[in-house]
Amino acid sequence: MTGGKARGTLGSTMTTPAPPPVPAAASAPELDVLLTGTVFFDLIFTGFPHPPTPGTEVWTSGMGSSPGGIANLAVACARLGLRTGLAAGFGDDLYGDWMWQVLRDQEHVDLTYSRRFHAWHTPVTVSMALAEDRSMVTHGHPTPHPVAELVAIPPPTGAVLVDLGDPELRAAPWWREARAAGALVFADAGWDPAQEWDRRILDDLADCDAFTPNAEEAMGYTRTTTPEDAVAALAEHVPLAVVTCGKGGALAIDGTTGEQATVPSLRAEVVDATGAGDVFAAALVLGTLRRWPLTQRLKFAVLCSSLAVQEFGGSLAAPGWGDIADWRRQVCERAGNDADAATTAREYAFLDELLTGVVTRRVRRAEGTIARISDAGLGTQTPPDPPTQEEGLR
């Protein structure tokens, strides 16, 4: 940080023991999913009356704070019951303290391979949800130690998720070693701002088991003009090729089973699309590890992502099994006098078996400020009425 003694984020007076930088593989618990990346402190604004313009101030009706970046994917996996390990760097400021606590203690994400860095401040993203899109402003610095090197010897895990668009992670040996030990590798590449679509990423798919780009990314990397042609081209490089199409749903080809599937999206009132792709990926990983049929995997992933976009807050918008059970119950209740709901209820009848015996709990949503204590385990409370303008000035 340059320019005097000011710090980029709030300084911390709390102490949190840092885990060892490279723990022995034998000390790590067995995982379902292992992932690595950068964690951001996300501040999300929603409910814009109109987009902000230079020289003006806009008051919004909604605001939330949550762990972001790779935390979106980690929380989405953990809330679906996957034993999730995360290797990431955390600052020693209050933002870092809060995100460490939320991920480890509330969301039950294993942070054995994560590190706290002294005098390194947390990257921050301000996200503005505008209609069905968003704009973001981010500030941060590289971690003092490369995140891609936090995992020296991967622990036993069912799957790993890697971002092939990150050159350091792409070159890291640990995820290939995990695959050699039996893990399934789920890859993404992200948006290419330069839209050059480096086709060398397709070569790296030889070391992967699944690739989950969106339609624009898939067509860019394969030099095709339709999602259908793109998924067919990707299927020549990776066993499971999945292309997400937003309102167009998703399509996939599983070369290991010979299945092909196309699933439409579900109608949803979009509040914030942040992290929807991560929720889709987490649901797909769960279904693949459980060996569900391809169509069921896609339907489940579409459902989870549609539930996520109806909340704001990125990682904390991810649905848990309680949200899925509520959705199933509501759809079935409407099915008696709503033909569309009746069709949807039939299409998603497989949820009844999945929900049998599942323990559900409340999950935390994003708050306007950093909450000291989560209310996720408490009963529904009626919030106090907001103060009037006069009361607010007292």
pLDDT at 18 over 50: no
CATH number at residue 146: 3.40.1190.20
Domain that holds residue 251: 27-49+60-319
Does residue 216 come out as left (phi exceeding 0), alpha (psi in the -120 to 50 range) or beta? alpha
| Average pLDDT value for residue range 122-142 | 86
SS3 375: coil
Mean pLDDT of 179-201: 90
Mean pLDDT (the chain, rounded):
84
Stretch 335-346: mean pLDDT, rounded?
94
pLDDT at 274: 74
Q: How far apart are CA 283 and CA 366, in angstroms?
A: 21
The pLDDT tens digits for 84-131 are 999 999 999 999 999 999 999 999 999 999 999 999 999 999 988 877
Residue 338 forms part of a structural domain? no
Mean pLDDT, rounded, for 236-252: 95
- The answer to whether residue 334 sits within a structural domain is no
67 within domain boundaries: yes
For the question of whether the overall pTM of this predicted structure is more than 0.75, the answer is yes
Confidence class for position 23, pLDDT limits 50, 70, 90: very low
What percentage of the chain reaches a pLDDT higher than 90? 63
- 191: which 2 tokens? 């948006």
Q: Is residue 350 in some structural domain?
A: no
Could you tell me if residue 270 is inside a domain? yes
Q: Residue 106: which of 365, 337, 322 has the closest Cα?
A: 365
Termini Cα distance of the chain: 38
Is there a domain that residue 309 lies in?
yes
Residue 93 placed within a domain: yes
User: 316-334: per-residue pLDDT in tens?
Assistant: 889 999 999 999 999 999 9
Stretch 276-294: mean pLDDT, rounded? 95
Amino acid at 234: L
Q: Could you tell me what percent of the chain has a pLDDT over 70? A: 82
Please list the residues that pair with 133 across neighbouring strands: 130
Q: Is residue 373 part of a domain?
A: no
User: What's the structural domain count of the chain?
Assistant: 1
Q: Which residues contact 67 (CB under 8 A, 6 or more apart)?
A: 39, 40, 41, 42, 75, 99, 102, 103, 314, 315, 316
35 CB contacts (<8 Å, ≥6 apart)?
Answer: 70, 73, 74, 77, 84, 85, 86, 87, 160, 161, 162
